[in-house]
Structure 1
Amino acid sequence: MSDVAERRNYDLRDEIKAYWSERAATFDLSPGHEIFSEEERSAWHRLFLRHLGRGDGRTALDLASGTGVISHLLDDLGFKVTGLDWAEPMLERARGKAKDRKRTIAFQMGDAENTMEPDDHYDIIVNRHLVWTLVDPAAAFAEWLRVLKPGGLVLIVDGDFVNTNALERFFGKLSAWGQRAGILRPDTPMHSREMMETHRSILSRVYFANGARAEAVVDLLRNAGFTDIEVDTDLGEIHRMQARNWNFFKGLARKSQHRYAIRASKPLPAA
């Protein structure tokens, strides 16, 4: 890679880190980030049990752990959890939340694309809404393969937030119209117009600028060496629970998006 490309990637990565550091203050206000009901919590548990099974003390790495939402779900299921994030304000909130709930989750500073974790160390890697932000997903997936134990599993929960379909656009317009008219529940205010512009700018420059389609993520996982790859688009139960915190049309728009969970395995050594 040229020096120019390295500087461009470094600058983008720094911008991503600064953006999520600023977002930390309002991150837990948003449905789809924090969990606002036991019904949604249970729906997440069922998704994880379906793909990962019970923890039984197995080690789990929650990458881009943010305020610890996914880490707590894994802890609920009996995993020994480490949360890794590179935004200190996110880590501060995650540690405070764990202390308040009397959890023993370890939260530490780290980069999801270069974790600095030991080889063959974790049974499970989980992340939510991380992959679409990666500057170099091929390198990241190779890194995740390295730190997983042979036979270990990665579970990616993500989506295509660029390519909207006709239904999503239609429901989004109805939601916006109803909010302007004052007859539908307004969205939770999360950040300023400037922050929204920063988000759009970052999205236009990451690897998946054209949308993180499941099939593209699968190809990169396979190229990195993962096997037994499964794509699960049956996230409707989670989306229904989240929709209770939005107006009707906003919930339908979310349901119409291309969202998925992808599970993949690190191969066992040849006999």
Structure 2
Amino acid sequence: MTPPTDVQAAMNDYWTHRSVPYDEYQQRADRKEVDLAAWGEVFTDALGAEPLDVLDVGTGSGYVACLLADQGHRVTGIDLAEGMLERARLHAGAMDNPPTFLRGDAVAPDFPAGSFDAIVNRYVTWTLREPDTALANWLQLLRPGGTLAVVDATWFARGLHEGASEEFKAAYDEEVRQAIPLAESTSIEPFAERIRAAGFVDVEVVALTRLHELDREHGVAPNHEVLMQHLIRGTRP
């Protein structure tokens, strides 16, 4: 595996700069409660109700990590964008059962093998450099029978820069584009195929219809469009 390079640094800088507006949009009052309920169902269905040791890779502003901690899980979230970690820790400070947020690389999380019952992420796989390496590492971090649960969509099926902001185009330049092979997928199947190839079994893809309904009703962020999001769930043998 190559270490984080200028490619990763460019993505880190972009998401640090975007951390406040990104987080504020996730927390917007007009749909906060219905969003929390919908995402709560997604991850309860994926992980079950029993408290687990969970790693949220690419945690961003900690939305999923905090949601899972509120459900009673023991959660660690990692990210390389310092601005996102600041927002995540801000939310954690107001919680009774806060996640632990650490600086860490989603491609190569620095934990002993078999440390977790579940690994999760949301909107991370599309922007992973070396996704096959990342998935192999995630598999090793899970205990036997552990669960991988990731959420993503075909955000850039028409091309990474189609309809994007100038800021995004500058950060996700051609060098970055070449380093993130899932970004321009035209279906969710390439995500699932790589998860299967990494050694996960019982891999299933679930369309998140309730989230789609909410996006159609309330709208989506600027430079985005309403797309079907999917949960991909797999098990470590």
TM-score normalised to structure 2 length: 0.86
1:15 aligns with 2:10: yes
Which residue pairs with 1:145 in the alignment?
139
What secondary structure is seen at the aligned counterpart in 1 of 2:5?
helix
* Aligned partner of 1:77 among 65, 71, 78: 71
Q: Which structure carries more helix by proportion?
A: 1
| 1:196-207 mapped onto 2 (5 Å cutoff) | 196-201=168-173, 204-205=177-178, 206-207=180-181
Contact 1:119 1:148 in 2 (8 A): yes
The aligned length equals 228
| 1:80-119 mapped onto 2 (5 Å cutoff) | 80-119=74-113
Which residue pairs with 1:216 in the alignment?
190
Which residue pairs with 1:26 in the alignment?
21
1:193: Cα distance to partner?
4.7
Q: Deviations over 1:35-90 (max 9, x none)?
A: 64212211111111222111x33101111111110011111221111111111111
1:199: Cα distance to partner?
5.0
* Aligned-residue CA RMSD (Å): 2.6
1:158: Cα distance to partner?
0.3
Aligned residues with identical type, % of pairs = 32
| 1:95-244 mapped onto 2 (5 Å cutoff) | 95-164=89-158, 193-201=165-173, 204-205=177-178, 206-211=180-185, 213-233=187-207, 235-244=208-217
**Greater C-alpha radius of gyration:** 1
Contact 2:85 2:103 in 1 (8 A): yes
Contact 1:162 1:209 in 2 (8 A): yes
Name the CA distance, whole Å, in 2 between partners of 1:156 and 1:59. Answer: 16
Name the CA distance, whole Å, in 1 between partners of 2:184 and 2:99. Answer: 35
What secondary structure is seen at the aligned counterpart in 1 of 2:109?
coil
Q: Which runs of 5+ in 1 are unaligned?
A: 173-191
Contact 2:157 2:186 in 1 (8 A): no
- The one-letter code matched in structure 2 to 1:49 is T
Name the CA distance, whole Å, in 2 between partners of 1:212 and 1:70. Answer: 25
- The one-letter code matched in structure 2 to 1:238 is L
1:258: Cα distance to partner?
4.5
Q: Which moves more between the two structures, 134-143 or 238-247?
A: 238-247
Name the CA distance, whole Å, in 2 between partners of 1:264 and 1:204. Answer: 27
Residues 246, 259 of structure 1: CA spacing in aligned structure 2 closer, same or farther, 3 A cutoff?
closer
Contact 1:132 1:212 in 2 (8 A): no
Q: Which runs of 5+ in 2 are unaligned?
A: none
Name the CA distance, whole Å, in 1 between partners of 2:78 and 2:92. Answer: 14
TM-score normalised to structure 1 length: 0.76
Q: Deviations over 1:130-185 (max 9, x none)?
A: 00001110000001001011100000100111225xxxx9xx9xxxxxxxxxxxxx
1:232: Cα distance to partner?
0.4
Name the CA distance, whole Å, in 2 between partners of 1:199 and 1:244. Answer: 31
1:104: Cα distance to partner?
2.3
